[in-house]
């Protein structure tokens, strides 16, 4: 049976359970009341839309809820912050059934609770074009303040956490509707459906004194380009240093794809790109390693006039214009 707006809100409130630490007024009133320690608050909003960011042919509703929250929390992680609470706006193309709401909110709560980030409120309405979720995340910056995109300096080393391109490769598998590939490359599919924000890594990198940072949401090329544009610098990325997983390389070899392209333009990996002074870079890498987080140097920040380039065995490629753009 389809639910009314009030029934949807009541079900979400029931699923969210008792308010967590910091929540003074939770779901059910006109606005939430949350107590933030430290005074300053980081705020970010992300939206995902059916037919643009996901298809219910390849995503289940729990995965949609997870990914919507993960994208917002990753923005807080990219500034070295700690997520505190979220607001969720839901728009349905038709009145949902109880099981559908439970599946979607189950994914939302699974992701948010894994980050100790409470769901404190939001909105439910009718959509003219399928399912849509907008997540607003509030968090607190590190003691040293947020790490911005605009702090990179000429000579800084460029690093990245984890391995890149997994989400793009996972999307390739899902779009090809190949059950055999999906069974043999589960980590790639998981990396697309259920990315994990790098909260701890962001915190450690902020404490290690990195100069700039951003999460990989649109692809390595455009996200690094954002750092360079805000910092008024250029960069050189060495193709052979970009970390790619064994699964990704195996899939690329099997289907005849260029593995590096998934890293450069696939997006939605939600790893962290960061820059650091040469004298501090190893400190940042070691701080991550002590907590079991892998990271690698992939290039160097150059003067603004050098542009943003990828160095390969055959020459240089301009990184500008590569990657996901909603309106390209």
- Distance, in Å, from the CA atom of 301 to the CA atom of 180, rounded to the nearest integer, reads 42
Last residue of a domain, one of 93, 109, 140: 140
**pLDDT value of residue 21:** 84
Name the nearest CA neighbour of 216 among 129, 158, 156: 158
- Distance, in Å, from the CA atom of 215 to the CA atom of 72, rounded to the nearest integer, reads 11
Residue 327, domain member (yes or no): no
- Distance, in Å, from the CA atom of 75 to the CA atom of 132, rounded to the nearest integer, reads 19
Instruction: Answer yes or no: are the C-beta atoms of 44 and 84 closer than 8 Å.
Output: no
Q: Return the CATH number at 17.
A: 3.30.1330.10
- Distance, in Å, from the CA atom of 10 to the CA atom of 1, rounded to the nearest integer, reads 15
Residue 326, domain member (yes or no): no
Residues 272 and 303 in one domain: yes
* Number of continuous H segments (helices) and E segments (strands) in the chain: 11, 13
Residues 169 and 94 in one domain: no
Supply the range of the domain harboring residue 94.
5-140
Residues 25 and 53 in one domain: yes
Residue 97, domain member (yes or no): yes
Residue 96 gets which letter from DSSP?
Answer: P
Angle, alpha carbons 96-121-71 (nearest 5°): 80
Residues 68 and 159 in one domain: no
Residues 193 and 125 in one domain: no
Residue 311, domain member (yes or no): yes
- Distance, in Å, from the CA atom of 53 to the CA atom of 48, rounded to the nearest integer, reads 6
Q: Return the CATH number at 164.
A: 3.90.650.10
Angle, alpha carbons 79-156-220 (nearest 5°): 60
Residue 159, domain member (yes or no): yes
Two tokens at 11?
A: 């079900």
Residues 75 and 93 in one domain: yes
- Distance, in Å, from the CA atom of 292 to the CA atom of 328, rounded to the nearest integer, reads 38
Two tokens at 219?
A: 């692809």
- Distance, in Å, from the CA atom of 198 to the CA atom of 195, rounded to the nearest integer, reads 9
* Structural domain total, the chain: 2
Residue 325, domain member (yes or no): no
Residues 162 and 311 in one domain: yes
- Distance, in Å, from the CA atom of 19 to the CA atom of 214, rounded to the nearest integer, reads 31
Residues 132 and 218 in one domain: no
Residues 179 and 310 in one domain: yes
Whats the size of the chain, residue-wise? 328
**pLDDT value of residue 322:** 75
- The pTM of this model reads 0.94
In which element (H, E) is residue 73 found? helix 61-77
Under DSSP, is residue 229 helix (H, G, I), strand (E, B) or coil? helix
Beta bridge partners of 49: 132
Residue 328, domain member (yes or no): no
Instruction: Answer yes or no: are the C-beta atoms of 81 and 140 closer than 8 Å.
Output: yes
Per-residue pLDDT of the chain (328 residues; tens, 9 = 90+): 899 999 999 999 999 988 888 888 988 888 989 988 778 999 999 999 999 999 999 999 999 999 999 999 999 999 999 999 999 999 999 999 999 999 999 999 999 999 999 999 999 999 988 999 999 999 999 888 899 999 999 999 999 999 999 999 999 999 999 999 999 999 999 999 999 999 999 999 999 999 999 999 999 999 999 999 999 999 999 999 999 999 999 999 999 999 999 999 999 999 999 999 999 999 999 999 999 999 999 999 999 989 999 999 888 988 887 766 766 6
Last residue of a domain, one of 109, 140, 171: 140
- Distance, in Å, from the CA atom of 43 to the CA atom of 72, rounded to the nearest integer, reads 9
- Distance, in Å, from the CA atom of 87 to the CA atom of 206, rounded to the nearest integer, reads 26
- Give the sheet arrangement for strand 157-161, strand by strand: 212-215, 272-276, 157-161, 295-302, 234-238, 308-312, 315-318
Last residue of a domain, one of 110, 140, 170: 140
Residues 105 and 15 in one domain: yes
Residues 83 and 155 in one domain: no
Residue 101, domain member (yes or no): yes
**pLDDT value of residue 45:** 97
Residues 162 and 118 in one domain: no
259 backbone dihedrals φ, ψ, rounded to 5°: -60, -35
């Amino acid at each position: 049976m389809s639910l009314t707006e009030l029934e949807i809100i009541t079900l979400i409130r029931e699923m969210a359970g008792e308010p967590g630490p910091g929540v003074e007024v939770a779901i059910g009133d006109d606005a939430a009341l949350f107590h933030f320690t430290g005074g300053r608050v980081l705020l970010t909003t992300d939206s995902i839309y059916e037919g643009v960011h996901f298809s219910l042919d390849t995503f289940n509703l729990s995965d949609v809820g997870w990914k919507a929250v993960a994208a917002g929390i990753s923005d807080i992680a990219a500034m070295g912050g700690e997520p505190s609470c979220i607001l969720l706006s839901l728009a349905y193309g038709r009145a949902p059934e109880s099981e559908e709401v439970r599946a979607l909110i189950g994914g939302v709560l699974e992701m948010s609770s894994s980050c100790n980030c409470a769901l404190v409120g939001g909105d439910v309405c009718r959509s003219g074009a399928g399912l849509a979720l907008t997540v607003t995340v509030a968090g607190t910056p590190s003691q040293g303040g947020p790490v911005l995109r605009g702090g990179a300096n000429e000579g800084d080393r460029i690093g990245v956490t984890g391995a890149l391109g997994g989400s793009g490769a996972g999307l390739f598998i899902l779009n090809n509707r190949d059950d055999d590939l999906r069974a043999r490359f589960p980590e790639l599919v998981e990396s697309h459906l259920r990315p994990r924000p790098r909260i701890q890594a962001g915190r450690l990198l902020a404490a290690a004194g990195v100069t700039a940072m951003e999460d990989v949401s649109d692809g390595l090329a455009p996200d690094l380009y954002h750092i360079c544009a805000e910092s008024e610098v250029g960069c050189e990325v060495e193709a052979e240093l970009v970390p790619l997983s064994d699964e990704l390389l195996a899939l690329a070899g099997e289907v005849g794809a260029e593995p590096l392209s998934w890293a450069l333009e696939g997006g939605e990996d939600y790893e962290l790109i960061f820059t650091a002074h040469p004298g501090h870079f190893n400190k940042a890498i070691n701080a991550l390693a002590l907590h079991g987080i892998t990271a690698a140097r992939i290039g160097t920040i150059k003067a603004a006039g050098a542009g943003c380039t990828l160095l390969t065995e055959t020459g240089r490629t301009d990184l500008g214009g590569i990657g996901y753009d909603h309106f390209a």
